[in-house]
Amino acid sequence: MSFDPRISMITLGVADLVASTEFYQKLGFEKSSVSQESVTFFRMKGTVLGLFGRAALAVDAGIEEAGSGFRAVTLGHNLGSEAEVDEAFAHALSCGATEVKKPEKVFWGGYSGYFADPDGHLWELAYNPFMANNADGFMDLP
């Protein structure tokens, strides 16, 4: 069997599942009916976002829970214009996100900003004028 590169699901370890679920619902994520008391699932275009207790996720992975600060990972959401980035950023802040970096023109020629969810997971909202989204809103790579 060969490895078929894709990400089917992203699971974030969270300190307060109820609060984090409410945050993502305010952002516009729709909670799936298969969610349970210990895990929340959100269907996204082409993948699933899961929220799971941080301690329980560490146990499940067989690693220590300790660790905080920069995780060297960001979740990216590419949009169709600078105005859309600004609008999405303002919406995230109104839902309780923490501003990390206001959207601005960036060194690579695009426009982006960062916010953090209640557990510090970083989201980048970006407009890339060199790589348009397709009709379904996904990035098209050559």
Domain membership flag for residue 15: yes
Domain membership flag for residue 128: yes
- Distance of alpha carbon 70 from alpha carbon 111, whole angstroms: 22
End-to-end C-alpha distance for the chain, whole angstroms: 26
Which whole-number Å values give the CA distances from 139 to 12, 29, 45, in the listed order?
23, 20, 12
Q: CB under 8 Å to 29, separation ≥6 — which residues?
A: 42, 44, 49
Contact 128, 78 (CB under 8 A): yes
- Distance of alpha carbon 38 from alpha carbon 124, whole angstroms: 27
What does pTM read for this prediction? Answer: 0.86
Domain membership flag for residue 48: yes
- Distance of alpha carbon 124 from alpha carbon 56, whole angstroms: 26
pLDDT digit string, tens, across residues 88-107: 999 999 999 999 999 999 99
Domain membership flag for residue 135: yes
Domain membership flag for residue 42: yes
Under DSSP, is residue 125 helix (H, G, I), strand (E, B) or coil?
strand
Q: Which domain holds residue 99?
A: 73-142
Per-residue pLDDT at 20 exceeds 90? yes
pLDDT at 69: 67
The enclosing domain of 107 has a CATH number of 3.10.180.10
Q: Are residues 96 and 133 in the same domain?
A: yes
Which whole number is the average pLDDT over 68-89?
Answer: 88
- Distance of alpha carbon 6 from alpha carbon 20, whole angstroms: 25
Q: Are residues 77 and 140 in the same domain?
A: yes
